[in-house]
Amino acid sequence: MRHIPLLHVNLIFLSLMLLLLITTAQAGSIRIKSVDLAAVEQGYEINVDSEIILNATLEQALEKGIVLYFVTKFSLVDSRWYWLNDEIVRGKLRIGLRYYALTRQYYLNYPAFSQSFNTLEEALQALGQLHNYSLIVKSELKQDVDYIASLRIWLDLTRMPKPFQVEALGSSRWNLSSNKLEWRMKLPTPGQPLQIKGQ
Protein backbone atom coordinates (compact mmCIF):
# COMPACT_ATOMS: atom_id res chain seq x y z
CA MET A 1 0.00 0.00 0.00
CA ARG A 2 1.38 3.37 -1.03
CA HIS A 3 1.65 6.00 1.73
CA ILE A 4 0.96 9.69 1.05
CA PRO A 5 3.85 11.87 2.26
CA LEU A 6 3.05 13.94 5.35
CA LEU A 7 3.84 17.16 3.48
CA HIS A 8 1.14 16.37 0.89
CA VAL A 9 -1.39 15.61 3.64
CA ASN A 10 -0.65 18.96 5.27
CA LEU A 11 -0.98 20.80 1.96
CA ILE A 12 -4.32 19.12 1.25
CA PHE A 13 -5.56 20.02 4.74
CA LEU A 14 -4.47 23.66 4.39
CA SER A 15 -6.10 23.88 0.95
CA LEU A 16 -9.39 22.55 2.32
CA MET A 17 -9.30 25.01 5.23
CA LEU A 18 -8.61 27.91 2.86
CA LEU A 19 -11.47 26.79 0.62
CA LEU A 20 -13.79 26.65 3.63
CA LEU A 21 -12.81 30.17 4.70
CA ILE A 22 -13.33 31.53 1.18
CA THR A 23 -16.71 29.80 0.87
CA THR A 24 -17.83 31.18 4.25
CA ALA A 25 -16.74 34.70 3.30
CA GLN A 26 -18.59 34.45 -0.04
CA ALA A 27 -21.74 33.14 1.62
CA GLY A 28 -21.78 35.63 4.48
CA SER A 29 -22.57 34.63 8.03
CA ILE A 30 -23.47 35.77 11.54
CA ARG A 31 -21.99 33.76 14.39
CA ILE A 32 -22.79 34.46 18.04
CA LYS A 33 -19.65 33.82 20.10
CA SER A 34 -20.94 34.61 23.59
CA VAL A 35 -23.56 36.52 25.55
CA ASP A 36 -23.34 37.85 29.12
CA LEU A 37 -26.42 38.60 31.19
CA ALA A 38 -25.78 40.76 34.27
CA ALA A 39 -27.94 42.13 37.09
CA VAL A 40 -27.52 45.89 37.57
CA GLU A 41 -29.26 48.52 39.66
CA GLN A 42 -31.69 49.39 36.87
CA GLY A 43 -32.53 45.76 36.06
CA TYR A 44 -30.59 43.58 33.63
CA GLU A 45 -28.09 44.18 30.84
CA ILE A 46 -26.62 41.99 28.13
CA ASN A 47 -23.28 42.01 26.35
CA VAL A 48 -23.07 40.19 23.03
CA ASP A 49 -19.94 39.18 21.12
CA SER A 50 -20.60 38.08 17.53
CA GLU A 51 -18.89 37.85 14.15
CA ILE A 52 -20.63 39.28 11.09
CA ILE A 53 -19.40 38.60 7.56
CA LEU A 54 -21.07 40.07 4.47
CA ASN A 55 -21.17 38.38 1.09
CA ALA A 56 -20.38 40.14 -2.21
CA THR A 57 -24.06 40.96 -2.88
CA LEU A 58 -24.47 42.79 0.43
CA GLU A 59 -21.17 44.63 0.02
CA GLN A 60 -22.30 45.83 -3.43
CA ALA A 61 -25.62 46.98 -1.95
CA LEU A 62 -23.69 49.03 0.62
CA GLU A 63 -21.57 50.63 -2.11
CA LYS A 64 -24.77 51.62 -3.93
CA GLY A 65 -25.90 53.54 -0.85
CA ILE A 66 -28.31 50.96 0.56
CA VAL A 67 -28.53 50.91 4.36
CA LEU A 68 -28.33 47.43 5.87
CA TYR A 69 -30.25 47.11 9.14
CA PHE A 70 -29.22 44.44 11.63
CA VAL A 71 -31.47 43.39 14.50
CA THR A 72 -30.33 41.82 17.77
CA LYS A 73 -33.18 40.33 19.76
CA PHE A 74 -33.01 38.82 23.25
CA SER A 75 -36.02 37.41 25.06
CA LEU A 76 -36.73 35.65 28.33
CA VAL A 77 -39.84 33.59 29.00
CA ASP A 78 -41.03 31.60 32.00
CA SER A 79 -40.42 27.93 31.19
CA ARG A 80 -43.75 27.00 32.78
CA TRP A 81 -45.57 29.18 30.26
CA TYR A 82 -43.20 28.69 27.34
CA TRP A 83 -45.94 27.41 25.05
CA LEU A 84 -47.76 30.74 25.44
CA ASN A 85 -44.64 32.56 24.17
CA ASP A 86 -45.16 35.36 26.69
CA GLU A 87 -41.97 37.40 26.88
CA ILE A 88 -41.14 38.52 30.41
CA VAL A 89 -37.90 40.27 29.44
CA ARG A 90 -37.14 41.68 26.03
CA GLY A 91 -34.36 43.52 24.26
CA LYS A 92 -34.51 44.41 20.57
CA LEU A 93 -31.94 46.71 18.97
CA ARG A 94 -31.82 47.73 15.30
CA ILE A 95 -28.55 49.18 13.93
CA GLY A 96 -28.08 50.58 10.44
CA LEU A 97 -24.85 50.05 8.48
CA ARG A 98 -24.23 52.62 5.74
CA TYR A 99 -21.43 53.59 3.36
CA TYR A 100 -20.87 57.18 2.21
CA ALA A 101 -18.97 57.25 -1.08
CA LEU A 102 -18.19 60.98 -0.69
CA THR A 103 -16.18 60.50 2.51
CA ARG A 104 -15.35 56.81 1.86
CA GLN A 105 -16.43 55.95 5.38
CA TYR A 106 -18.79 53.43 6.92
CA TYR A 107 -21.32 54.47 9.55
CA LEU A 108 -23.20 52.59 12.22
CA ASN A 109 -26.46 54.34 13.09
CA TYR A 110 -27.71 53.49 16.57
CA PRO A 111 -31.03 54.82 17.94
CA ALA A 112 -29.26 57.63 19.83
CA PHE A 113 -25.92 58.17 18.06
CA SER A 114 -23.70 57.29 15.08
CA GLN A 115 -20.13 56.03 14.66
CA SER A 116 -17.85 56.31 11.63
CA PHE A 117 -15.19 53.85 10.46
CA ASN A 118 -12.54 53.90 7.76
CA THR A 119 -13.00 50.27 6.71
CA LEU A 120 -15.84 47.79 6.44
CA GLU A 121 -13.92 45.34 8.65
CA GLU A 122 -13.79 47.90 11.48
CA ALA A 123 -17.50 48.67 11.13
CA LEU A 124 -18.48 44.98 11.16
CA GLN A 125 -16.30 44.33 14.19
CA ALA A 126 -18.05 47.14 16.10
CA LEU A 127 -21.45 45.94 14.84
CA GLY A 128 -20.77 42.54 16.37
CA GLN A 129 -20.08 44.00 19.83
CA LEU A 130 -23.05 44.99 21.96
CA HIS A 131 -22.16 46.38 25.40
CA ASN A 132 -24.32 47.13 28.44
CA TYR A 133 -27.63 47.00 26.59
CA SER A 134 -30.53 47.47 29.01
CA LEU A 135 -33.39 44.97 28.83
CA ILE A 136 -37.07 45.76 29.23
CA VAL A 137 -38.62 43.84 32.14
CA LYS A 138 -42.36 43.38 31.62
CA SER A 139 -43.25 41.20 34.62
CA GLU A 140 -41.97 40.40 38.07
CA LEU A 141 -38.90 38.16 38.01
CA LYS A 142 -38.00 35.52 40.58
CA GLN A 143 -34.53 34.21 41.39
CA ASP A 144 -35.61 30.60 41.92
CA VAL A 145 -37.57 30.18 38.67
CA ASP A 146 -36.23 28.53 35.52
CA TYR A 147 -36.43 30.78 32.47
CA ILE A 148 -35.80 30.09 28.80
CA ALA A 149 -33.59 32.69 27.13
CA SER A 150 -33.04 33.15 23.41
CA LEU A 151 -30.87 35.36 21.25
CA ARG A 152 -30.75 35.90 17.49
CA ILE A 153 -29.15 38.42 15.13
CA TRP A 154 -30.35 38.95 11.57
CA LEU A 155 -30.40 41.28 8.58
CA ASP A 156 -33.78 43.05 8.52
CA LEU A 157 -34.94 42.97 4.90
CA THR A 158 -38.20 44.77 5.72
CA ARG A 159 -36.25 48.04 6.14
CA MET A 160 -34.75 47.89 2.66
CA PRO A 161 -36.17 49.73 -0.39
CA LYS A 162 -39.06 47.86 -2.04
CA PRO A 163 -37.16 46.88 -5.23
CA PHE A 164 -34.47 45.23 -3.12
CA GLN A 165 -37.09 43.46 -0.99
CA VAL A 166 -38.53 41.90 -4.15
CA GLU A 167 -35.08 40.81 -5.30
CA ALA A 168 -34.21 39.46 -1.86
CA LEU A 169 -37.39 37.37 -1.59
CA GLY A 170 -36.33 33.73 -1.67
CA SER A 171 -32.68 34.55 -2.44
CA SER A 172 -30.00 33.06 -0.20
CA ARG A 173 -27.67 35.96 -1.09
CA TRP A 174 -29.82 38.29 1.01
CA ASN A 175 -30.65 35.85 3.80
CA LEU A 176 -28.23 36.64 6.61
CA SER A 177 -29.01 35.42 10.13
CA SER A 178 -27.40 33.73 13.09
CA ASN A 179 -28.74 30.48 14.46
CA LYS A 180 -31.15 31.03 17.33
CA LEU A 181 -29.18 30.58 20.56
CA GLU A 182 -31.46 29.21 23.28
CA TRP A 183 -30.79 28.06 26.82
CA ARG A 184 -32.47 27.42 30.18
CA MET A 185 -31.30 29.53 33.12
CA LYS A 186 -31.98 31.11 36.49
CA LEU A 187 -31.51 34.85 36.86
CA PRO A 188 -27.99 36.11 37.60
CA THR A 189 -27.38 37.94 40.85
CA PRO A 190 -25.43 41.21 41.26
CA GLY A 191 -21.71 40.55 40.90
CA GLN A 192 -22.29 37.14 39.33
CA PRO A 193 -23.11 37.59 35.61
CA LEU A 194 -24.17 34.63 33.53
CA GLN A 195 -22.09 33.86 30.43
CA ILE A 196 -23.27 31.62 27.61
CA LYS A 197 -20.97 30.47 24.82
CA GLY A 198 -22.38 30.75 21.32
CA GLN A 199 -22.13 28.67 18.18
pLDDT in tens, 5-54: 555 545 444 444 444 444 334 468 999 999 999 988 878 999 999 999 99
Give the amino acid at 89: V
What's the pLDDT score for residue 150? Answer: 94
Whether residue 153 lies inside any domain: the answer is yes
pTM above 0.85, yes or no: no
pLDDT higher than threshold 70 for residue 174: yes
**Mean pLDDT score of the chain, rounded to an integer?**
83
What is the SS3 assignment for 36? Answer: strand
Whether residue 5 lies inside any domain: the answer is no
Residue 199 to residue 179: CA distance in whole angstroms:
8
- Domain enclosing residue 127, as ranges: 29-197
DSSP bridge pairs for 120? none
What's the pLDDT score for residue 21? Answer: 43
pLDDT higher than threshold 90 for residue 105: yes
Identify the helix (H) or strand (E) that includes residue 7: helix 6-27
Whether residue 78 lies inside any domain: the answer is yes
What's the pLDDT score for residue 196? Answer: 81
Task: Write the burial class of residue 63 (CB in 10 Å: 0-12 exposed, 13-18 middle, 19+ buried).
Answer: exposed
What's the pLDDT score for residue 151? Answer: 96
What's the pLDDT score for residue 169? Answer: 61
What's the pLDDT score for residue 170? Answer: 62
Tens of pLDDT, residue by residue over 129-138, are: 999 999 988 8
Higher pLDDT, 168 or 159: 159
Q: Are 135 and 90 in contact (CB under 8 A)?
A: yes
pLDDT higher than threshold 90 for residue 161: no
Tell me which of 9-13, 55-59, 150-154, 194-198 is least confident. 9-13
Q: E strands along 9-146, which residues?
A: 29-40, 43-53, 68-78, 87-100, 105-109, 114-117, 129-134, 136-137
Tens of pLDDT, residue by residue over 73-104, are: 999 988 775 556 678 888 999 999 999 999 99
The domain tally of the chain equals 1
What's the pLDDT score for residue 192? Answer: 77
- For the chain, the farthest-separated pair of C-alpha atoms sits apart, in whole angstroms, at 70
Indicate the pLDDT class of residue 127, thresholds 50, 70 and 90: very high
